[in-house]
Amino acid sequence: MVRVSPDSNDILVHTLSDGPTTFANTGTTANADWTAYGAPVAKVPGPIPYNGKFNALYIPGSHISNVRNGAGGAVDVVPTQLSLSGWIFMRRYTSFFAEVFNKQYFLNSWSSPFLSFGFQMQNTNDGSIELYITVNGGLQVIRSANFHVVPLGRWSHIGGTWDGSTLRLYINGVLVNSSPFTGTITYASVGQRGFWYAGGIPGSSTNQEAPIIVQDVRLANIARPQSYFANIYRQSFLTGT
């Protein structure tokens, strides 16, 4: 696989190829490493080689109260326009809403509006995915249709963008849904902001983590065009990964 290199707009870049305790941020924001919580499994096989090793982060996919597995941090990274993306390997579908990677609204809490931005698998057991954003304090969502799902048993690239007026969802380089929303993306106040994270909900008694393997999660401070996501997926496809 040919990796598309991050650029100066990528403020968080977590390859998730390191660990097992700390996952370094190689984006442009300082002091924004992620820390493991629960029992995610580091250094399992992934599609992208880093330092000669194909390492990624395994999320068990638990749905048991008070059992949460993942990695997160960088609470005060709060872009007004953004792109969030990464590679996931879906091991099974779920009949519950399952976290992928997100920005938790309140630190160590799962209460309305829940997320500032991010992805959940739907509770429909069919690979459909949702993209959330909190605008002007209210949670909004768009969903993929049944013919645009995250497939089982293979690596897929998902992306979501917000340009200040439109929310867009991409799967494997294809725009699968978009919707206009008027307003400003909302984050909690300083000292109350939750993690950017992959896996189960940090510090909450609610758990609904997706059974996935994750690699190369990126947050940019611009809304990437469709061509960006298509190029990342095409580079993978052309090399047969």
| Residue ranges making up the domain that contains 91 | 10-238
Question: Which are the contacts of 24, defined by CB distance < 8 A and separation ≥ 6?
Answer: 14, 15, 18, 33
Specify the pLDDT at position 87: 96
Count of structural domains within the chain: 1
Q: Which residues of the chain have pLDDT under 50?
A: 240-241
Specify the pLDDT at position 32: 97
Specify the pLDDT at position 238: 59
Q: Kindly state whether residue 138 falls inside one of the protein's structural domains.
A: yes
Specify the pLDDT at position 64: 75
Specify the pLDDT at position 236: 75
* Rounded Cα distance, 197 and 201, in Å: 8
Specify the pLDDT at position 145: 77
Q: Kindly state whether residue 5 falls inside one of the protein's structural domains.
A: no
Q: Kindly state whether residue 179 falls inside one of the protein's structural domains.
A: yes
Q: What is the DSSP string of 160-175?
A: EEE-SSEEEEEETTEE
Specify the pLDDT at position 183: 92
**CATH code for the domain in which residue 106 is found:** 2.60.120.200
Specify the pLDDT at position 241: 44
Q: Kindly state whether residue 234 falls inside one of the protein's structural domains.
A: yes
- Predicted TM-score (pTM) of the model is 0.95
Q: Kindly state whether residue 4 falls inside one of the protein's structural domains.
A: no
